[in-house]
Amino acid sequence: MTHAFTRLASGLALGLAMTAPAPALAELDDNGLHVAPWVEETFLDLREDLADANANDQRLLILFEQRGCIYCRDMHENVFPREDIATMLDDAFFVVRLNLHGSLEVTDFDGEAMSERDIARRWGILFTPTLMFLPEEVGPDQTAQQAAVATMPGAFGGWTTFNMLTWVQERGYEEDEGFQRYHARMLEEMGVME
């Protein structure tokens, strides 16, 4: 009877999985980058973007993506739409997206202006997506890469992303507990396996 129940439960779970809606395909813009309601349209002067973020009581987050990035697609289809993450990105972060191979002019905090692709090289950005989190104040002689309080290169699961956003919001980078220990502690406290 136990085996029959297990087969029945497995069959029901499989049937539900097969009828569960697939994640929505993320919409792309003319440059092949994913459309998200929380991405800000700016003049890409990071000094102004930081001022706008502070005025909105948000944290500046720079998001690097590129056309055809399967990891970006995964984040936009499976991670960023998660309600708690989408709400946090919309409410708590001022997100400026840059194209790893783009040609739009970006002005860094030190006043240097260059294309998106050149600023990616300047900051050593190698992976997409890459999330770069900035503090509320950046000195005029610093680059974004020098000032960043955390950088998340690559695609991660929902709980890692949620905990990183929370850790930045709570200024965990100012504490002795690094992100990896914070993340492990949060997963354990929530009883979550990612």
What are the beta bridge partners of residue 28?
34
Structure tokens at 47: 């000094």
Asked if 152 and 163 count as a contact pair (C-beta separation under 8 A), the reply is no
* pLDDT above 60 (res 15): no
Give the model's confidence band at 23: pLDDT under 50 very low, under 70 low, under 90 confident, else very high. low
* pLDDT above 70 (res 106): yes
Closest by CA to 69, choosing from 110, 17, 26, 108, is 26
Q: Please list, in sequence order, all residues whose beta carbon lies within 8 angstroms of the beta carbon of residue 190, skipping any fewer than 6 positions away.
A: 159
Better-predicted residue by pLDDT, 190 or 16: 190
Q: Where are the domains of the chain?
A: 24-156
In this predicted model, what pLDDT tens digit does every residue of 116-158 receive, in sequence order? 999 999 999 999 999 999 999 999 999 999 999 999 999 999 9
What are the beta bridge partners of residue 133?
61, 150
pLDDT number for residue 68: 96
Closest by CA to 57, choosing from 136, 112, 161, is 136
Give the model's confidence band at 194: pLDDT under 50 very low, under 70 low, under 90 confident, else very high. low
By DSSP bridging, strand 59-65 and strand 93-99 are: parallel
Better-predicted residue by pLDDT, 3 or 187: 187
Which CATH number does 24-156 carry?
Answer: 3.40.30.10
Q: What is the DSSP string of 23-53?
A: PPPPPB-TTSPBP-TTBPP---BHHHHHHHH
> What's the whole-model pTM score?
0.85
Give the model's confidence band at 39: pLDDT under 50 very low, under 70 low, under 90 confident, else very high. very high
Q: CA 47 from chain center: how many Å?
A: 20
Give the model's confidence band at 186: pLDDT under 50 very low, under 70 low, under 90 confident, else very high. very high
Better-predicted residue by pLDDT, 191 or 99: 99
* pLDDT above 60 (res 10): no
Asked if 130 and 123 count as a contact pair (C-beta separation under 8 A), the reply is no
* % residues pLDDT > 90 (the chain): 81
Give the model's confidence band at 24: pLDDT under 50 very low, under 70 low, under 90 confident, else very high. low
